[in-house]
Chain A
Amino acid sequence: MAARDPYEVLGVKKEATEDEIRTAYRKLAKKHHPDLNPGNKEAEARFKEIAVAYDLLSDKDKRARFDRGEIDASGAERPEHAYSRYRGFAEGAPGERYEFHSAEGMAPEDLDDLFAFFGRGQRGGGPGRGGGPVRMRGADLHFALTVDFLTAINGAKQRLQLAPERSLEVTIPAGVRDGQILRLKGQGGAGLNEGPPGDALIEIHVAPHPFFRREGDDIHLELPVTLAEAVLGGKVTVPTPSGPVSMTIPANSNTGRVLRLRGKGAPRPGGDPGDEYVTLRVTLPEGDDAALAAFLRDWAPKHPYDPRRGMAS
């Protein structure tokens, strides 16, 4: 198939500027991008043509060669323009991950009201509509639930409002992860003609914490320590998701030193819990301290050091 003239495809003149070409491309691409036109084969074919034309005309060198007639519009030497193939996934089960987009937390899936039509006519179906009653499983309903950081680690029961007049108590299992989906059997839409009800699928969003950070099942925490604690060592109280614990800081601990509190991370189903990693950050006293300044002025380090020696070029 001979490719159409790229100027014609983009609807621009031979002498169009780069900007004009880009603008024309954007306008057409917005209209025909396959991911924005799921199920529309024509849009896909059109987009490919547009992309090929733009690949050619947006490349100064190729455009010049095309203008001189050295290469043709099909540009056989050019790899095909790569574009996202999101819809291939989004149309199937993997796309369910992006079912809702609400950051607010609960977003009752309003699509399901469309499918409530399955429930209609249960009584009124009557004779003459052909065949016996069709039994059908109810639709799965999708919800999002935002839980706070510590709830996700320690577990809790939380109420989820499914509809104005219907709420449900959800058991948040300890250690639940952001994005995890809880399935509540039989809590979804009603079945048709005594078909079983669907399930409620609840996507958990975990809110961030002001000072804990979670990586897998481990918790990370940056712990400010005083100059004296860093140099002399000592016992300090450290917050963990299950409550404060006492930790010994070894003498001469610098900023960045990481201490591990075993088992103080998130619980892991069927395994040992994660750990908490505490990264020390040495913090100077606030405000002027004449005594400290005087001490440092007179202080001759036993081991003189240059912390930036690795940076010398």
Chain B
Amino acid sequence: MISFEAVIRLVVGLNEAELRHWIAERWVRPESGAEGYVFAEVDVARVQLIHELRYELAIDEEAMPVVLQLLDQVYALRRRLRVALDAIDAQPDEIRAAIRARCGAED
């Protein structure tokens, strides 16, 4: 678990006001602890990503929510797809073969 101050130190070039703004916009959603915000690794990676999108890729404030929302949907889909694939993987061979044939046929 990582503190607000630690995130500021970890992400080079990030300032405090900006991170607060991102949290207020709910682009980043750390938990609130007794001592303030508590960041998990996923949150820090997301801060790093938003910082890159903002400054390296020049995505502006207006476009950012659209980018993040689409990204969140892509990852949600991928997580579900993985669950579905795992479920398919656990099936007997003939079912897997049938699914493969079906997916191939519909491509």
Contacts and interface: CB of A to CB of B under 8 A. Distances in A.
A65 interface: no
A134 interface: yes
Interface residues of B, number: 45
Nearest to A87: B75
A178 B72 CA distance: 19
Contacts of A214: 32
B8 interface: no
A89 B45 contact: yes
Contacts, number: 117
B69 A131 contact: no
A86 B56 contact: no
Given A96-B79, A111-B77, A215-B36, A84 B29 contact: no
Contact of A131 (B36, B80, B87, B94): B94
B3 interface: no
B18 interface: no
A134 B29 contact: no
Residue with the greatest number of chain B CB neighbours at <10 A, chosen from A87, A89, A92, A109: A89
Interface in B45-59: 45-46, 48-49, 51-53, 56-58
Contacts of B41: 89, 94
A243 B10 CA distance: 42
B1 interface: no
B21 interface: no
Contact of B45 (A36, A86, A115, A139): A86
Interface string A11-30: 00000000000000110011
Contacts of B53: 33
B45 A130 contact: no
Interface of B: 12, 26, 29, 31-36, 40-43, 45-46, 48-49, 51-53, 56-58, 65, 68-69, 71-80, 82, 84, 87, 91-92, 94-95, 97-98
Interface of A: 25-26, 29-30, 33, 35-36, 38-39, 82-92, 94-101, 103, 109, 111, 114-115, 129-131, 134, 136, 139, 177-179, 205, 214-218
